[in-house]
């Protein structure tokens, strides 16, 4: 692999990470200030914000599933440097936010504290992702080996699985849960693993106009179906149904990644030739996991200091301020000498 290829490769990934964390924060701010009442703008922002997590998952699948796990040395390296770090991070932040909720947020309920500590409930909204990542990571070597050993079988799983899940989710939503045709759902860790598996095919898809066109067509179909669903259902029902495993969310998430990959590559060749640009985006990109961990703290602080005003402008302003504060705080913390790398997964 040439140096130029690595340069292009990592630049678009860092840009995608930064954009994804912006979407995540946008979504969480929207859920705090634009839900009383829920409007069409609330749903639109929710739709955009939900794309953030699939983008992260696609990137993880792209980077990690395509590695070589065919020998003990590679498995040992993955276990030590990736899986072990994720486990330690999950345990540490579960304990931290459990105590934070008990002391700082004045929860004061010992039973709640214990449930938070043993993963029975979430001490902070973003903890669902942090706590489930160790399970997801444990599947990565198995998926990688299966992809190389049984490519047609795995491809059939992706195609048939995506079709069943997409149709099933829409039918369930249209019937308001009275008819769920497929019990094979995407809840929990399986949802994340499935999206990561798609990410591992990203290079192949981005090089093929045919596959890219298919994804665009599927995205348009799901968008039209979602439009009918919005027309048919109440805004409250739509808000409750929007999740990362919904067809319109992970399909459009894949389009976001493909778009960033292509646009960044073009811009790098024309405008971002200097190493300073790569270093800038790389320095921010490696902080995104840490930003995800701490951003809710700053959202709550900002909402206490500044009485929230619903609307797009207010949402974007709070989102950008939260992003800036989170990036700055994580950047300062990671400079502490001998700080364990697993805290914010900086390498």
Q: What is the pLDDT, as a whole number, of residue 8? A: 43
Q: What is the pLDDT, as a whole number, of residue 1? A: 33
DSSP one-letter string for 68-109: --SSHHHHHHHIIIIIHHHHHHHHHHHHHHHHHHHHTS----
Q: Is the pLDDT of residue 218 over 60?
A: yes
Q: Which of 81, 24, 74 is CA-nearest to residue 54?
A: 24
Give the whole-angstrom CA distance, residue 161 versus residue 179. 19
Segment 89-143, tens digit of pLDDT: 999 999 999 998 888 876 678 888 888 888 888 888 889 899 988 988 988 998 8
Q: Which H or E run includes 21?
A: helix 3-33
Segment 284-343, tens digit of pLDDT: 999 999 999 999 999 999 998 887 678 899 999 999 999 999 999 999 999 998 889 889
How open is the CA angle 240-58-298, to the nearest 5 degrees? 60
Burial class of 233 by CB neighbour count within 10 A (0 to 12, 13 to 18, 19+): middle
Q: What is the pLDDT, as a whole number, of residue 230? A: 83
Segment 141-182, tens digit of pLDDT: 988 998 888 888 877 877 777 777 777 777 777 777 676 655
Q: What is the pLDDT, as a whole number, of residue 184? A: 46
CB 346 within 8 A of CB 282: no
How far from 319 is each of 108, 163, 281, 330, 332, CA to CA, in Å? 30, 34, 19, 16, 20
Q: Give me the mean pLDDT over the 40-59 stretch.
A: 93
Q: Is the pLDDT of residue 25 over 90?
A: yes
Q: Give me the mean pLDDT over the 51-57 stretch.
A: 93
Mean pLDDT for all residues in the chain: 85
Give the whole-angstrom CA distance, residue 164 versus residue 42. 28
CB 308 within 8 A of CB 28: no
């Amino acid at each position: 692999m040439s140096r130029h290829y690595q340069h292009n490769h990592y630049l678009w990934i860092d840009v995608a990470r930064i954009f994804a964390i912006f979407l995540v924060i946008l979504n969480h701010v929207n859920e705090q200030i634009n839900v009383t009442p829920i409007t069409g703008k609330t749903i639109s922002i929710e739709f955009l914000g939900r794309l953030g997590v699939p983008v992260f998952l696609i990137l993880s699948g792209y980077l990690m599933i395509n590695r070589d796990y065919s020998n003990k040395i590679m498995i040992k390296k993955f276990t030590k440097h990736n899986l072990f770090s994720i486990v330690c991070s999950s345990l540490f932040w579960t304990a931290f936010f459990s105590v934070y909720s008990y002391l700082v947020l004045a929860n004061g309920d010992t039973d709640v504290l214990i449930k938070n500590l043993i993963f029975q409930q979430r001490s902070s909204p973003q903890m669902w992702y942090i706590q489930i990542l160790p399970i997801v990571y444990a599947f990565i070597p198995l998926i990688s080996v299966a992809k190389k050993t049984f490519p047609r079988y795995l491809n059939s799983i992706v195609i048939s699985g995506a079709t069943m899940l997409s149709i099933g989710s829409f039918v369930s939503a249209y019937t308001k849960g009275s008819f769920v045709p497929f019990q094979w759902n995407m809840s929990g860790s399986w949802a994340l693993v499935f999206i990561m598996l798609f990410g591992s095919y990203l290079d192949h898809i981005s090089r093929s106009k045919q596959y890219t066109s298919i994804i665009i067509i599927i995205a348009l179909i799901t968008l039209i179906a979602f439009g009918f669903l919005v027309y048919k259902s109440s805004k409250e029902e739509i808000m409750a149904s929007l999740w990362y495993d919904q067809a319109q969310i992970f399909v459009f998430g894949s389009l976001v990644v493909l778009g960033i990959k292509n646009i960044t590559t073009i811009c790098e060749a024309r405008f971002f030739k200097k190493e300073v640009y790569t270093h800038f985006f790389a320095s921010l990109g490696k902080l995104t996991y840490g930003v995800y961990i701490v951003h809710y703290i700053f959202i709550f602080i900002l909402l206490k200091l500044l009485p929230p005003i619903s609307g797009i402008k207010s949402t974007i302003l709070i989102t950008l301020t939260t992003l800036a504060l989170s990036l700055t705080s994580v950047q300062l913390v990671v400079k502490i000498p001998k700080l364990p790398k697993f805290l914010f997964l900086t390498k």
